[in-house]
Amino acid sequence: MLYIASYFIGVSIIGFLLMGLDKRRAVNGNQRISERTFLLFALIGGSIGIYFGMKQFRHKTKKSKFNLGIPVIIVGQVILLLFLNS
């Protein structure tokens, strides 16, 4: 279980940092990180980091695929972890 937790924490940190990086790029008018990349990181375990990045950087909060999709992914991952842990 420690390895799984470490994995989720690591991927979430990367997701959080990517949200901050993309927000900075958006403000500066530079090349952006695709929404697909964010959703992929959320699906592979970084959903918590993506969610906190959205809130911290006020980024992608008006897009329903993020506003609704990321919490749905989080719930799904929590259910999966509970199932695997039982």
In this prediction, residue 12 carries a pLDDT of 97
Q: Give yes or no for a contact between 34 and 63, defined as CB atoms under 8 angstroms apart.
A: no
Give how many domains the chain has, as a whole number.
1
Cα 27 to Cα 37: distance, rounded to the nearest angstrom: 19
C-alpha span between 83 and 86 (Å, rounded): 5
Torsion on CA atoms 16, 19, 22, 28, rounded to nearest 10: -90
User: Domain range for residue 46?
Assistant: 2-85
The pTM of this model reads 0.91
In tens, the pLDDT along 11-58 reads 999 999 999 999 999 999 999 999 999 999 999 999 999 999 999 999
Please check the confidence at residue 2 and state whether its pLDDT lies above 90.
no
Residue-wise DSSP of 39-72:
HHHIIIIIHHHHHHHHHHHT-STT-HHHHTHHHH
Question: Can you give the pLDDT at residue 69?
Answer: 95
